């Protein structure tokens, strides 16, 4: 099977990372979660003293976007190793800026071929995004988010998938969520224009149904 590169776009809390996990499992791709990747670099004790890391960590924790040139450098390293190992890739959280799109699109095209790159927009209204983010609990072991809609609890403690401890991410506090939505509007939305100009078709998917339903709608595009 030809190696694919799938890009999932959407507001914070639209379920990009959950869908990327599904796609990775079903289609045998590597899930590249930009946010998580950056979080691990920025929180790595080895990097703690580095000036760029201190500055970027502050951006990250307050909901602002990490500087695009820093992001692009880190992502390129990672994609190259994924492609070299012979894997296809699904992105949740990249590109986040027009700059990133401009730098990553040609890079991906060279590695995977233009016709094997798919772009989806998981459409979730802003109000729903706020609701989801302000109630978000994530497992600190397996990374699964708790779907509070299906597991209603004021103070959930354990992950229903693996029993690990749930935590609230620093970037999911109300102030950061507001900043993230602003950043999305001002800096991520222009990505669509960039990709369209490059000839990409952006496939719209309603992101409000339960994740398994959303997945079925995405997966239709990969059934022959």
- Rule CB under 5 A: which residues touch Zn ion? 139, 141-142, 144, 159, 161-162, 164
Structural contact between residues 66 and 39, judged by C-beta atoms closer than 8 angstroms: no
Q: Which is nearer to Zn ion, 164 or 211 (CB)?
A: 164
Task: From 121, 108, 124, select the one nearest 75 (Cα to Cα).
Answer: 108
Which residue, 190 or 211, has its beta carbon nearer to Zn ion? Answer: 211
Beta carbon of residue 187, minimum distance to Zn ion (angstroms, whole number) = 31
Q: Considering the complex, what minimum distance in angstroms separates the CB of residue 197 from Zn ion?
A: 40
Q: Is the dihedral of CA 82, 171, 10, 147 positive or negative?
A: positive
Nearest to 137 by CA among 164, 111, 102, 106: 164
**Which H or E run includes 31?**
strand 29-33
Tell me the three state secondary structure of residue 119: strand
- Residue closer to Zn ion by CB (options 58, 149) is 149
Q: Shortest distance, CB of residue 129 to Zn ion, whole angstroms? A: 23
Q: Least Å distance between CB 131 and Zn ion?
A: 22
70 vs 167 by CB, closer to Zn ion: 167
């Amino acid at each position: 099977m030809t190696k694919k590169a799938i890009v999932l776009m959407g507001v914070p809390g639209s379920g990009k990372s959950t869908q990327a996990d599904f796609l990775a499992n079903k289609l045998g791709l590597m899930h590249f979660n930009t946010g998580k990747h950056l979080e691990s670099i920025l929180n790595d004790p080895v990097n703690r003293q580095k000036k760029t890391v201190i500055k970027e960590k502050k951006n990250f924790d307050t909901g602002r976007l990490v500087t695009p040139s820093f992001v692009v450098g880190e992502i390129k390293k990672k994609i190259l190793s994924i492609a070299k190992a012979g894997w296809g890739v699904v992105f949740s959280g990249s590109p986040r800026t027009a700059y990133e799109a401009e730098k990553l699109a040609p890079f991906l095209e060279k590695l995977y071929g233009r016709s094997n790159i798919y772009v989806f927009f998981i459409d979730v209204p802003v109000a729903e995004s706020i609701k989801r983010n302000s109630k978000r609990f994530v497992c600190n072991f397996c990374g699964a988010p708790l779907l509070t809609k299906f597991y209603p609890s004021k103070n959930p403690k354990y992950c229903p998938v693996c029993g690990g401890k749930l935590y609230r991410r620093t970037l999911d506090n109300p102030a950061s969520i507001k900043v993230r939505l602003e950043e999305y509007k001002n800096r991520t939305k222009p990505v669509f224009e960039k990709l369209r100009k490059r000839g990409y078709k952006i496939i719209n998917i309603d992101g409000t149904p339960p994740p398994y339903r959303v997945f079925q709608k995405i997966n239709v595009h990969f059934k022959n």
